[in-house]
Chains A and B, each alone.
Chain A
């Protein structure tokens, strides 16, 4: 009997009291069909083999597990390893799930992929697999996120996807999720909704977790090879929660291993401008699943904030809510400022540019590592690389030269010729 791992097909998508299928009736047949197709695919060795082959040859897995010697020395505590998910195709872990679901959509005879996206990394991964497999593709993205993640929008469009701005609500990920579900309702016959995180109605949280758990499985093998033992602590950032759950899941039953999920504290928990669901959020049922949500006393979801668009979301995957209540995973938080400091630190010590999302995980290691022994091991999931964040980071760091560069580009008639 497993203590933390739930058979979520047996439980009809429930993780303790969380999860479930709180979906409008018109979506239920599609969710049931997806569940059936996925369970069959799981048993089909040719499906699994094709998935693994694409992960290896198209995306570049396994991603390296890198011993961050300089960072380790600098922090003076545990030995720190970085799982370099950012080295995969499209620059983040999102590609793992996108490949898996694209294969599933093809198997179900769908012609069109749609997806929600926050930071744009999931949209980019979806647009990429759509191009690769010949799907028509539409990505829904909050207007605010489109503004702060223009480079990803550019590439999605180049890849042939239509990027549709969501102009209502908070104009971020939550509203993009709503819009993608509405679009799915209108196009169930032809379209697969490629959900990008461990959220939404059953079976999505299970499917996404399974496709992402390749991260944790690889870490197990890689750390055994490097150190001859399992790590003491795993750290990952948590937006919807797919990179963290993908990392943690294969270790859940190893009770000695500490796991830390880092939420976005934005401008600080006390400011109210954050996205930390376990700090001030409460139980709710929104967007098809029961979990913790940032909401007011009436149950209206709240506007969230994070410098990292990928963490800027009012809900959190239901399996996280369950593992939180069980005390299996510790959830902590890092502010925008701490994440930026961590980003600079990793740049200077290791020459690596983490995504702003992943920098939250690094920030936690900065706090935690000095109190640990030099015989202990931390693994941080660097879920994405930070090239995409150049506009945001340069703006926050008030980099004058970058601003001048942009101005000069416009002035000299960039794009006019």
Chain B
């Protein structure tokens, strides 16, 4: 099975280029502006984009993304709106793989099979659902993703044991999303060393490319992890930057120059 994610990863490798994945919450601050944010991200050089379907209980998200989720839900957005939005984006950004990110209750409630089928039909190429580990066998999430040519993206973190790395390595599809909260801002060499060690053990068990997210805020950060992962992830930073602007125009320009600055 190959899909747009595989082609993108192959291309990055061929060009010897480090990839960048950006994250947005669909409908934040509203649907038209989140569409613009995506287009600015694409224009500025994002290689992959995560589209988060908002959920009332986003267990693995920090305050920025949590607040964005709840703010969007207050506007009355529905999952069906998110599908329409994603489909529109996918048709405009043919070169950029789009992934849905959300929590399992959303696909579960939608019907896992329907969710996978409709995601693929909308032009998405992968799902990131943090609260369905691959060994939770009660729901056929993993198999349904594969059956619909979607990569189920799994996550590893420094708390992961070797056993878990081995297990995720077994199921890994597309790439594995590594999170490392090591307070990299003003990082000391020792923290980078810890990260290096973590990523090295992940490599031992995981044979697909790796993405790494940890609050990247500068080109130096990207430089320092270039050797550790194929893709850097910019998560809540995009929302923080958007919120720091005085006007929509300024916010969008800030996002654009931030992303350009990372390349």
Contact = CB atoms under 8 A, between A and B. Distances in A.
Interface of A: 14, 17, 20-30, 32, 168-169, 174, 178, 181-182, 185-186, 188, 282-288, 290, 293, 295, 297-301
B1 interface: no
Interface residues of B, number: 37
B106 A28 contact: no
Interface string B173-184: 000000101000
Given A178-B57, A288-B131, 6 more contacts: A17-B138, A25-B130, A29-B164, A169-B56, A182-B62, A185-B60
Contacts of B161: 29, 32
B57 A301 contact: yes
A181 B160 contact: no
Contact of A284 (B109, B138, B157): B109
B59 A300 contact: no
Interface in B36-83: 55-57, 59-60, 62, 66-67, 70, 73, 78-79
Interface in B127-176: 130-133, 136, 138-139, 154-157, 159-161, 164, 168
Given A29-B161, A168-B66, A21 B136 contact: yes
A298 B131 contact: no
A186 B157 CA distance: 11
Nearest to A30: B159
Contact of B59 (A21, A29, A188, A288): A288
Which among A22, A25, A178, A295 has the greatest number of chain B C-beta atoms within 10 A?
A: A25
A285 B159 contact: no
B104 interface: yes
Contact of B105 (A20, A174, A186, A295): A295
Closest 3 CB pairs of A and B: A299-B109, A26-B157, A24-B60
Given A17-B138, A26-B155, A285 B164 contact: no
B160 A25 contact: yes
Contacts of A32: 161
A299 B157 contact: no
B105 A285 contact: yes
Given A169-B56, A188-B159, A20 B106 contact: no
Contact of B136 (A22, A26, A300): A22
Contacts of A28: 133, 160, 164
A20 B67 CA distance: 28
Interface of B: 55-57, 59-60, 62, 66-67, 70, 73, 78-79, 103-106, 108-110, 130-133, 136, 138-139, 154-157, 159-161, 164, 168, 179, 181
Contacts of A185: 60
A26 B160 contact: yes
Contacts of B108: 283-285, 299
A27 B66 CA distance: 18
Given A30-B159, A169-B70, A25 B164 contact: yes
Which among B73, B138, B181 has the greatest number of chain A C-beta atoms within 10 A?
A: B138
Nearest to A284: B105
Contact of A24 (B55, B106, B130): B130
B71 to A, nearest CB: 10
Contacts of A293: 105
B159 A20 contact: no
A284 B164 CA distance: 26
Contacts of B132: 22, 285
A172 to B, nearest CB: 12
A288 B104 CA distance: 10
Nearest to A32: B161
A285 B66 contact: no
A25 B57 contact: no
14 contacts: A23-B59, A26-B155, A26-B159, A26-B179, A27-B159, A182-B60, A284-B105, A285-B108, A286-B57, A290-B138, A298-B78, A298-B109, A300-B55, A300-B56
Contacts of B164: 25, 28-29
B160 A285 contact: no
Contacts of A283: 108
Contacts of A287: 57, 59
Nearest to A14: B138
B170 to A, nearest CB: 14
A389 B78 CA distance: 39
A299 B106 contact: yes
Which among A23, A26, A181 has the greatest number of chain B C-beta atoms within 10 A?
A: A26
A295 B104 CA distance: 14
B154 A20 contact: no
Contacts of B179: 26
Contacts of A299: 55, 79, 105-106, 108-110
Nearest to A26: B157
A284 B136 CA distance: 15
Nearest to A18: B138
A26 B106 contact: no
Contacts of B109: 282, 284, 295, 297-299
Contacts of B159: 26-27, 29-30, 188
Nearest to A303: B56
A299 B57 CA distance: 10
A25 B110 CA distance: 23
Given A24-B60, A295-B109, A29 B138 contact: no
A25 B157 contact: yes
Contact of B106 (A29, A182, A298): A298
